[in-house]
Amino acid sequence: MVAEGGPVGDHVRMSTSGRLKAALAMVPGLEGMVLSPAARERLDAVVDLVVTTAVAGPVDVPAEAAASVEVLVTGWGCPALDAGALAHLPALRLVAHAAGTVRPLVTDALWERGVVVTSAAAANAVPVAEFTFAVIIMAAKDVFAIRDRHREARGLRPVVDHARMGTRGLTIGVVGASSIGCLVLERLCTLEVDVLVADPYLAASEAEAMGARLVDLDHLLGASDLVTLHAPLLDDTRGMIGAGQLARMRDGAWLVNTARGGLVDTDALTAEVVSGRLRAFVDTPDPEPLPSDSPLYDHEGAVLTPHVAGSLGNETTRLGDLAVTEVERFVAGEPPLHPVVRVDMDRIA
């Protein structure tokens, strides 16, 4: 409803309902992709949006409305919530991020204010895990090479090494028991494979509960037929898969990267693939995209996709659903499902 005294803008609503006031901060127009009609209805049922459409950032909320905003639903493109942004939103109590990582968003000023921060990284983990699991199945079946041979043969049955096809009896190595890594581990339990996991923060009992055996990274690399990366990109994980680590991998093994390209030394990986010793599936290269003359584009031992493992299309509404759930819980006085706390920032993606 419009505040007494006249309109304050085409998309600004001033409410006297007594409910918490909220705003959306993300790439304008993105809210229609992230928030399904049902999610928007749920959001409208528990808070009053002071601006009916998303704004690019907190400082873009009109001043007359910003002073009352206690809930900010953020998404891709929202700038850092620094001291200036927080000064514009003096009543802010909750940031519900309808996307994955909050690293570009959070600042010391936000933590010092005591604002509750939640993330939809758990929702974004679902399509990445699904994608990765599908890649593992197809890589084990040698589908990518068979596709190329079948295209060339035009109907003739391609010659394949049947003895090496399939997942049964393989050893799969999962690097990182992150949100995505855990979902991949869960899916691997449906296969007849041996699963190894390497993660410095994981206990052996936790790995066992997920159907895996905890080992160190060097052991995992040397024992696995396929290695899939799910570690966060941090200062101490950047380049964690270099020439030395790749050299430990079995001849013919696959390296699957749907995490971050910076985890891998691209030059070293390229050399191993071009030599024919290793095979690679890379959704997130470094640099991104790879130079147009990279040998990986055309080599039969490499499969490249343009960063499509994460939420796209109808998958993006899962992010909005979780963010709205966090808002509903906050309004009801319930603890968040997926809080982000300052102490975890050194180890999360």
Give residue 208's region: left, alpha or beta (phi > 0; psi -120 to 50): alpha
- The catalytic position among 88, 97, 260, 279 is 260
Instruction: Round to whole Å and give the CA distance between 309 and 305.
Output: 9
The partner residues of 173 in beta bridges, in order of sequence, read: 196, 227
Residue 300 to residue 162: CA distance in whole angstroms: 18
Q: Which residue out of 288, 300, 334, 342 is catalytically annotated?
A: 288
CA atoms within 13 A on the CB side of 245: 19
Look at residues 64, 54, 52, 63 and name the one whose alpha carbon lies nearest to residue 31: 54
Query: E strands, 219-261, where?
Result: 226-229, 254-257
Q: Is 307 a catalytic residue?
A: yes
In 75-165 the beta strands, taken as DSSP E runs, fall at 94-97, 116-119
* 3-class secondary-structure state, position 195: strand
Q: How far is CA 298 from the centre of its chain?
A: 27
Among residues 19, 307, 329, 347, the one annotated as catalytic is: 307
User: 302-304 and 194-198: which strand pairing?
Assistant: unpaired
Contact present, 212 and 206 (Cβ < 8 Å) = no
Neighbours of 323 (CB within 10 A): 28
Amino acid identity of residue 94, one-letter, is L
| Closest residue by Cα to residue 22 from 347, 331, 343 | 331
Distance CA 5, CA 147 (A): 68
Active site residues: 260, 288, 307
